Amino acid sequence: MQFTGAHILSIDQFSQDDVEHLFQVADAMEPFARRALRTRVLDGAILSNLFFEPSTRTRVSFGCAFNLLGGHVRETTEIKASSISKGESLYDTARVISGYSDIIAMRHPVAGSVEEFARASRVPVINAGDGPAEHPSQALLDLYTIRKELRIDGPLEKLRIAMVGDLKHGRTVHSLGKLLCLYRNIHFTLVSPRELAMPAYIVDLLRSKGHTVSETDSMEAGLHNCDTVYLTRIQEERFVNQAEADLYRGRFRLNQAIYTQHCKPNTVIMHPLPRDSRAEANELDNDLNQHPSLAIFRQTDNGVLVRMALFALTLGVADQVARHVEEVPWYTAKRFRNPPPL
């Protein structure tokens, strides 16, 4: 794809070459993310972060990624803080905000809304999650993490991944499933209550690309022999009836004992976060916090690199970053070189 000026709305846009290119740019962002160097390549540029659904890491990491490239960030959070609550259309909001910004990252509860917004925008728009549909930047950082954790240098093959939890409403697993389709011979084990199964169109897509897919509602069977387990939260905000969400919370849990009993040693543990740590849910137990295979905070760190790469590519400065480099004068923690014990 031609990255410069493109909207990033869906994983469907990406080829394997695009992903490889993006990951090379993400690798080059590492000195800036760990504050060994700073760059002002986007000095003067403005990102508008429009987050009409709750978010911690996606919103803040998009913002930090832009700041780390030297750009400025404007935030709008919650529909009630925006004129959308006064009846303004997405079209009008897009026309207005795109006049104030160089690029926009947007999250909205309705599937397809970010695309609708992008059609009216005069600047690139990145989908930061549209309802249950897609979350492309999360899938890209997830794949980037899988490759780093499994020490795969280059396109991945023969991955065995278990996706666990609310696969019906989880936009991260929808996008990650589509993204993994670009590679070969992946074995997917989809673990969910039957009512929260992966949408059939995605399962069909995986099979049509030659991947093996098994679906189960047994966590133990699902964990057997995988390289990576990707846990998800029950997406309670997508249920009309909260009592229904309560039925599924806590159905699939990973803790130290279950990991030791059912997972191969070194199985990588991932979760897009937030994990629901309330007692009735607790799909990923704190007793795994010290486990070396728990990749969740490396995943969030990698999100900054991948989002920096998305900005550098869509704004056409990926090859100019090094021309605007300075030393960092302030104290910088060695967070990337020597990560503290979890």
What does the binding site for ligand NCD look like in residue numbers (CB under 6 A)?
A: 57-58, 129, 135, 138, 171-172, 232-233, 235, 272-274
CB of 20 to ligand NCD, least distance (A): 23
Query: Whose structure tokens read 């000026």?
Result: 5
Closer to ligand NCD by Cβ: residue 127 or 189: 127
Instruction: Kindly state the smallest distance separating residue 340's Cβ from ligand NCD, in Å.
Output: 22
Smallest distance from the beta carbon of 171 to ligand NCD, in angstroms?
Answer: 5
Q: How far is the CB of 78 from ligand NCD (least distance, A)?
A: 15
Query: 70 or 177: whose CB is closer to ligand NCD?
Result: 177
- Give whichever of 181 and 273 is closer to ligand NCD, judged by the CB atom: 273
Cβ distance 181 to 210 under 8 Å?
no
What are the angstrom distances between the C-alpha of 218 and each of 156, 187, 196, 199, 264? 27, 17, 13, 18, 17
| Least distance in angstroms from the C-beta of 129 to ligand NCD | 5
Whether the CB-CB separation of 101 and 46 falls below 8 Å is answered with: yes
* Least Å from the CB of residue 214 to ligand NCD: 23
Whole-angstrom distance, CA of residue 87 vs CA of residue 320: 42
Per DSSP, the three-state class of 305 is helix
E strand or H helix at 326: strand 325-327
How many Cα atoms are found within 13 Å in the side-chain-facing hemisphere of 104?
A: 30
Closest CA to 166 of 190, 142, 141: 190
Question: What's the CA gap between 315 and 307, in Å, rounded?
Answer: 12
Distance of CA 16 to the CA centre of its chain: 17
d(CA 281, CA 93): 37
Residues 69, 311: contact at Cβ < 8 Å?
A: yes
Q: Give me the amino acid identity at 328.
A: V
Q: Cβ closer to ligand NCD: 63 or 272? A: 272
Beta carbon nearer to ligand NCD, 84 or 234: 234
Of the pair 309, 318, the CB lying nearest ligand NCD is at 309
Nearer Cβ to ligand NCD, position 38 or 233?
A: 233
Shortest Cβ 246–ligand NCD spacing (Å): 17
Task: Count how many residues are written for the chain.
Answer: 342
Q: Among residues 38 and 178, whose Cβ is nearest to ligand NCD?
A: 178
Task: Tell me how far, at minimum, the Cβ of 163 lies from ligand NCD, in Å.
Answer: 13
Of 5, 85, 8, 103, the residue nearest 48 (C-alpha): 103
